[in-house]
Amino acid sequence: MSSPIDIDTLPYFNPKIDRRVAIITGGNSGIGFYTVLNLYLHGYVVYIASRSKSRCLKSIKELEYRASQIKLLDQGHPQHSISNLSATSVSGEVNECSLGEVHYLEMDLSNLQSIINAVETFKLKERYLHLLINNAGAMALPYTKTIDDFEIQLQTNFISPFLLTLKLLPILERTSDAFPHIEPRPRVIYLSSFGHQFAFRYFNLKTALDYRPNFILTWIRYGIAKTAGIHFMKMLALRNPKVLCISVHPGLVMNTNVFAYWTNLPIVGIIFWCVFQIFAWVLGVTSEQGALEVIRSSLNPQFSVEENNGKYFGSQGKELQPSKVANNMDYAARTWIWTVHELSKRGFIIPGA
């Protein structure tokens, strides 16, 4: 890749002429909210996969309102770049026909059957899929098992995105075959984290790590889950060359609800809140800024399967190197085999995997 792409140059589409469809998990808050706002303004038909219909519909109303305000401001002050607006961090000129659509798609990442149901629902609504953003995640939670008998962070950050992506992969490949010359190419984006580094010198998906002190081990469990997600993108890139699969680190976004468990604890929650606020002030980025990094990777027409598949990107769309554990292809192959086996034991068969 050459120089970092200017956010103002990313393409806009008219959904009545060129229907571009995206699915994003957890698109009703944080980075996901602003990612959806950007996609909506760029003309994408966006399905927000979320377990709470009421919260999602409320977010959709807020998205539509913000988009209308941005359009009015852009029409009244065409000399001003929208990317300079701190309240929205949305770029480029928004013309009358560019707004897309936003829809709710029921999905609970802590329930694998819910993912299967969501995919079947999506198939009834759309024939093609151009973009899948695995955005939703869980961080630093106490040790908990899901209904599918996976540790909660492992399932939310890795197992569920794995199953969702592979179930949607035939649609992504069909889109690639049907429109061989479209740009940007169909792609899968996995939101990674600096926290994947917490899996240093240790990677074993078979070990529960249900020990004390939980405050330490929860971060290692988180690191293992995020490392597995990077492994997944690398393996998927090798196995499925028709679709661009990349990991994106959006920056240290500290002001989202992912720390809610710790900040809500009695007494010590105040300490955690202060620590997170200090980190956010010194090293963090806003949700709006983090979303722009996701959009750069999602819509960058310079990215290609030949040059960028399986890679890891960060600030300004620059390629980064993940940890040695995350880069280890032997580990990646073991991650793939273990996950397919565990899913098959639970009755979720993935043909060809």
68 in catalytic set = no
Q: Treating both helix axes as pointing N-terminal to C-terminal, what angle do 30-41 and 287-299 enclose, rounded to 10 degrees?
A: 50
Sign, CA torsion 214/215/216/218: positive
The one catalytic residue in 98, 192, 247, 298 is 192
With beta carbons less than 8 A apart as the criterion, state whether 37 and 66 touch. yes
Question: What gap in Å lies between CA 303 and CA 288, rounded to an integer?
Answer: 22
DSSP, res 227: H
The active-site residue out of 71, 226, 234, 311 is 226
192 is catalytic: yes
CA 121, chain centre distance (Å):
20
CA distances from 279 to 13, 222, 274, 283 (A): 38, 18, 9, 6
Task: Count Cα neighbours of 63 within 13 Å in the Cβ-side half-sphere.
Answer: 29
* Catalytic position from the list 34, 222, 312, 331: 222
226 catalytic? Reply is yes
Which residues are tagged catalytic?
192, 222, 226
